[in-house]
Amino acid sequence: MSRKRFIPIVLIAILALLGFGAWTVLFKSAGGPPEGFALGNGRIEADLVDISPRLAGRVAEIRVREGDRVELGDVLAVMDTAELESQLNRAAAAVASAEAAVGVAAAQVVEAEARLALARSEQARAETLGKRDMLSRQDLDIRRTETQVAEAAVAAARANLRARQRGVDAEAAAHAEVTTRIADSTLYAQSAGRVLYRLAQPGEILGSGGKLLTLVSLEEVYMEFFLSAADAPRVRIGDEARIVPDIMPANAMPASVTFVSPQAQFTPKQVETRTERESLMFRIRVKIPAELVAQRMDQVKTGVRGVAWVRLVSDDGSLPEWPQGLIPPLVDSPNDPSRQ
């Protein structure tokens, strides 16, 4: 290549580089948020819920697969309960036996009370005869002793009845415990969501707390991002926010601020200079409304990156109006003109 042709190429490359630098400095920085707004990058997230049996056992049935959508109360899996059913039968027999023992104890109380009534009647006649000197002192003492013995027998019979009744309560509690264990062997969805992982198969034996499934709970879908120390104090919990996903840059989703960290992140260990203080960041969380998530359940995908917008409170406590590009469409009225 000749020197005359090489020089123009070099000049073009230099001009292109300078032009890119000028665009980056002058124009790209001008694309920041307007006055009264702040934004941060994040990704749409949801809580992960591990589904685990409370007790160790064999997996009898798993009714969902990865990717399945589940609703609150859906049966996800069932653990084998053959052993627990045997324990339940034994507990039921123990309850019946304890109730029969209560019946026997109640009959003993009736018998003891009858003996006491007889002893008291005989003592009363003996007291009458003793006053008339028709009965010896020794026989009168015997009748009095027999009454005391009958009273003690009644007290003992009643105490035995109470003990037998408490025995019924104990056996009934054991029966209820086994019933609860059987109920816990059926695992339900505690919220609407989607199955992310299926970590076991029917027939496998899991320990207590062993993971069967992992669900993405769609009860709370949110985005977390960071704002500077200058902007974060001007964001209030409960204020409106907007989420613009990267895959749908023309759509702004409504959200609300549910968390503003009370503590700064990235705090230097040494005493901060002004520049360091300006670099402190606060974690912010904005939540997508539950009704919107419910309407778009099949479209909700976690991990999608995007930008969250929030409004900053001015000195007089007012908030700026949302620009046209950040006004979300109505989700309840598909024929509303604002959705056109």
| Average of per-residue pLDDT across 239-243 | 91
3-state secondary structure of 206: strand
Q: In the predicted model, is pLDDT for residue 336 greater than 50?
A: no
Q: Could you tell me the maximum CA-CA distance found in the chain, to the nearest angstrom?
A: 158
Angstrom distance (rounded) from CA 78 to CA 192: 19
Scan for tokens 């997508």, then name that residue: 288
Angstrom distance (rounded) from CA 133 to CA 146: 20
User: Residue 284 contacts by C-beta under 8 Å, 6 or more apart in sequence?
Assistant: 40, 224, 225, 226, 227, 232, 235, 257, 259, 260, 261, 308, 310
The two tokens of residue 6 are: 């090489």
What pLDDT, on a 0 to 100 scale, did the predictor assign at position 26? Answer: 33
What pLDDT, on a 0 to 100 scale, did the predictor assign at position 21? Answer: 39
Supply φ then ψ for residue 190, to 5 degrees.
-90, -5
What pLDDT, on a 0 to 100 scale, did the predictor assign at position 289? Answer: 87
Query: Which pLDDT tens digit goes with each residue over 164-220?
Result: 999 999 999 999 999 999 999 999 999 888 899 999 999 999 998 899 999 988 888
Would you tell me how many other CB atoms lie within 10 Å of the CB of residue 228?
16
Amino acid identity of 294?
A
Query: Which pLDDT tens digit goes with each residue over 277-308?
Result: 556 788 999 999 888 887 776 667 788 899 99
3-state secondary structure of 226: strand
Cβ proximity of 58 and 79 under 8 Å = yes
Q: In the predicted model, is pLDDT for residue 132 greater than 90?
A: no
Angstrom distance (rounded) from CA 78 to CA 182: 10
Would you tell me how many other CB atoms lie within 10 Å of the CB of residue 312?
20
Strand bridging mode 213-228 / 205-206 = unpaired
Enter the DSSP assignment of 266. Answer: S
Angstrom distance (rounded) from CA 339 to CA 281: 36
